[in-house]
Structure 1
Amino acid sequence: MSVDQPRVAALVRELIEAIGEDPARPGLVGTPDRVAASYAEFFAGVGEDPAAPLAHTISVAHGPAPETEPSGAVILRDIQFRSTCEHHLLSFLGIAHIAYLPGSAVVGLGALPKVVDILAARPQVQERLGEQIADTIATALAARGVLVVLDASHQCVTARGGRQPLASTITVAARGALSEPAARSEIIALIARGGDPGTDPR
């Protein structure tokens, strides 16, 4: 399902009139079409299958000898995302950290940000977004455990109401073995280390 851009543009013209402005004045003439094009990007994930990027997996157990069994977590930190709060249609921007314990297969690391992008590109709340990312990865990869940490700044908090420009929201979604407090805390500690790969944090 794609965004009906002509319909969005017509509704934006009405909105401009409703706030007391003139959609025909030079500064606003192109605004309805620009907003419609933006909405097509912001909501491109509506109706899309978030598991599609995870369809091609790589066997962990089978490959060049010796064969092995998966053990530790795969962690991808600092995935930038943008979404739209469904309550005010204002943006929230943030960072996603994803960890999973593979079953018999892993997925290319570039697939994980695509899952985030698809699920973020629809009207959302942060709490649901994290849960949907975790469910998608857990199901599509038959992962033994999944942990998703989102840290985002919401315009509905920073730009309206209480106007708290420095406030951010952190949510955690966990599945399987990573729902256990000890396992979860170990992964969160690794995520929090930050820095360049291979850098000694001491």
Structure 2
Amino acid sequence: MLDIALVVFAYLLGSLSAAIITCKLMGLPDPRSEGSRNPGATNVLRYGGKKAAAVTLFGDMLKGLLPVLLAQLAGVADSVVAAAAMAAFLGHLYPVFFGFHGGKGVATAMGVFLGLSWPLALALLATWLVTAKLFKVSSLAALTATVLAPVYTWVLLPNRIYIILSLVMSLLLLWRHRSNIQRLMNGAEGKISQ
């Protein structure tokens, strides 16, 4: 019963959109109607500024971090921790509270990885920062970290369940970024500062 409760809680928490809630509280337009129409920190940054984007990023990361920490504190099996992590991630991608139309999942995935292993999260953050600094394209930075996440997990957290979790989340992240990948291939993807 505890296992199911943790997974359901994780999905419901993941379904809370930090971008939509932050923009509403700060008197900004709904992120689903502005810019890229993605309820995520990068889109909020483009039209709402750094403060709104930072709050969105923190909120989305927290949605991935809290369920993992809660499951670990409850002393459940690694498979249940992974299920709670995946539920939070899927809640962000397909939120029950917002018609199953959510964000792309980068920040929530980062929260999951932080809960699982801070060295793993640090490696992913460093990859994102270096790529973003070099190319000034948020989606390229996210995609680079996404592709490397299963490799980093295999090296830094050699647990079969978490390697599978990382691989599945990475595949979903790539799927959610398919329009960004197309724009990158066409040279039409926007820069972070735009």
The higher radius of gyration belongs to 1
TM-score (norm 1): 0.32
* TM-score normalised over the length of structure 2: 0.33
Q: Which has the higher helix share?
A: 2
Indicate the structure whose relative CO is greater, using CA pairs within 8 Å and at least 6 residues apart: 2
